[in-house]
Amino acid sequence: MAQQMRIKFISEGFREILCSSGVKEAVTEAAEAMQSKANENNIRGGNGYEVKMGRYGGGRWVAYVSASDNEANAAEAEDKALSRAVSG
């Protein structure tokens, strides 16, 4: 019979990892790949998607990919260029 096991997470350790430069690089790399795919999906042409980096609540790294011009907005609205980049 299996025994129950308790795991105690050390929040400060997780916070350290999530705020590290290694995580920032991984988040940046993933966002830039998504940006590139969205720009490829943009049949209207151009590089209308941009990556913005930040920290969630001043802590962990987050990235946002968003349309930076009207053509990219139209490409998402009509062709789902960014949505298709996110879904694979």
Q: What is the rounded distance in angstroms from the CA atom of residue 41 to the CA atom of residue 47?
A: 10
Arithmetic mean of pLDDT over the chain: 90
Mean pLDDT value across residues 39-58: 88
Return the residue matching tokens 């298709």. Answer: 84
The model's pTM is: 0.79
pLDDT for position 2: 76
As a whole number of angstroms, the distance between CA 30 and CA 36 comes to 10
CB 26 within 8 A of CB 62: no
Element (H, E) at 22: helix 21-41
Q: Phi/psi of residue 80, each to 5°? A: 55, 45
Q: What is the Cα–Cα distance from 38 to 32, expressed in whole angstroms?
A: 10
pLDDT exceeds 80 at position 1 = no
